[in-house]
Amino acid sequence: MRTESYNLFLFCFVGFWNEADVTRPFVSQAVVTDGKYFAFFCYQLNTLALTAETIQKSSRKNICWGTDSKPLYDVVEDGSVKGFNDEVLLQLVGFLLNRPKEL
């Protein structure tokens, strides 16, 4: 998953690796869409414990939250959108408005 790879890159960029585990979580969001259907994901990387040896040393787990794919609208007829899904738009705006917070 792209969000996991992104978080892993950030971990390594700031000096963490599987033998020097992170001291704070890294969180990223992803929106997967084809323009009509949208799915939303949030990934929290809490550990770099990826081998059997490092997993035994860490009680932390990584978390991925996601939604089912939902249509933004049903159909476009004669230049008009029919069946617009406000819930999808609100979720998208919510993701866009999220800002990093200092710990």
Q: Pick the closest to residue 54 from 5, 17, 6, 7 (CA basis).
A: 17
Q: Which residue has the tokens 């490092």?
A: 54
Work out how many domains the chain is built from and give that number.
Answer: 1
Please give the residue that has the higher pLDDT: either 51 or 59. 59
Which residues constitute the domain of residue 48? 2-97
102 domain residue, yes or no: no
Please give the residue that has the higher pLDDT: either 38 or 10. 38
Structure tokens belonging to residue 18 = 């599987």
pLDDT band at 2 (very low <50, low <70, confident <90, very high): low
Angstrom CA distances, 44 to 55, 71, 97, stand at 17, 26, 18
Give the pLDDT confidence of 64-86 residue by residue, as tens digits: 899 999 999 999 999 999 999 99
